[in-house]
Amino acid sequence: MRESTGTRERIKAVALELFTEQGYEKTSLREIAERLNVTKAALYYHFKSKDEIVSSFVEDRLDRMDALIAWADEQPSTLATRRELIARYADSMFATEQPSVMRFFEQNQTALKSLAAGQQMRDRMFRLADALARGDESPAAQLRAALSLFAVHSSWFAIRAPRVTDEERRKIALDVADELLARIADG
């Protein structure tokens, strides 16, 4: 079943890049195929449809999110747990090739709404926010929890100062996230 040349992986890589750069809708299969010097039909051998390409690189991420949520559910609703949770989330974001998948999601919110994979990710983000705010059902807590997640994400583009390393971005994001989480009441 596994072909030797890794065409499937190459398709995933190119698709991720183009979907992120120009958007899911604006990227045609013809364009992906041309970059790889194969035909559109070749793509259809590896993936049933265009959205199945998306699902393929979203699955890993969904699994990570599920693991994170499951872990959080077993912990007490304390500030320490919230801090540990956001740190683990940041790690899973900054690790390996995940940043590119993360950027893809940020860039394709709209397109993802009509895709199964997108709805699942949306769902997981809300559940993660709920886990971060657990024990404090106030609207303000919901907003702070969501913003702490967004602190991790936006550290990639909101920080425009020159010569800031990934590690520094991560630290700054977590510092700001911690401030927000500190204002959520323990359950």
Q: Under the rule (CB under 7 A), what is the footprint of DNA?
A: 1-5, 7, 27-31, 33, 37-42, 44-46, 48-51
* Most distant CA pair in the chain, distance: 57
Closest Cα partner for 77 from 126, 129, 135?
135
Residues 124-153 contacting its own copies, CB under 8 A: 126, 129, 137-140, 142-147, 150-151
Residues 43-102 contacting its own copies, CB under 8 A: none
Q: Do 57 and 16 form a contact (C-beta atoms < 8 A)?
A: yes
Q: Which does 87 bind (CB under 5 to 8 A by kind): its own copies, DNA, none?
A: none
**Token reading at 111:** 């397109």
Residue 180 engages its own copies in binding (rule: CB under 8 A)? yes
Dihedral sign computed on CA atoms, order 60, 64, 69, 71: positive
With CB under 8 A as the contact rule, which of the stretches 33-41, 72-80, 93-101, 179-187 interacts with its own copies? 179-187
**Identity of the residue, 134 or 169, whose beta carbon is nearer to its own copies in the bound complex:** 169
Cα distance between residue 140 and residue 29, in whole Å: 44
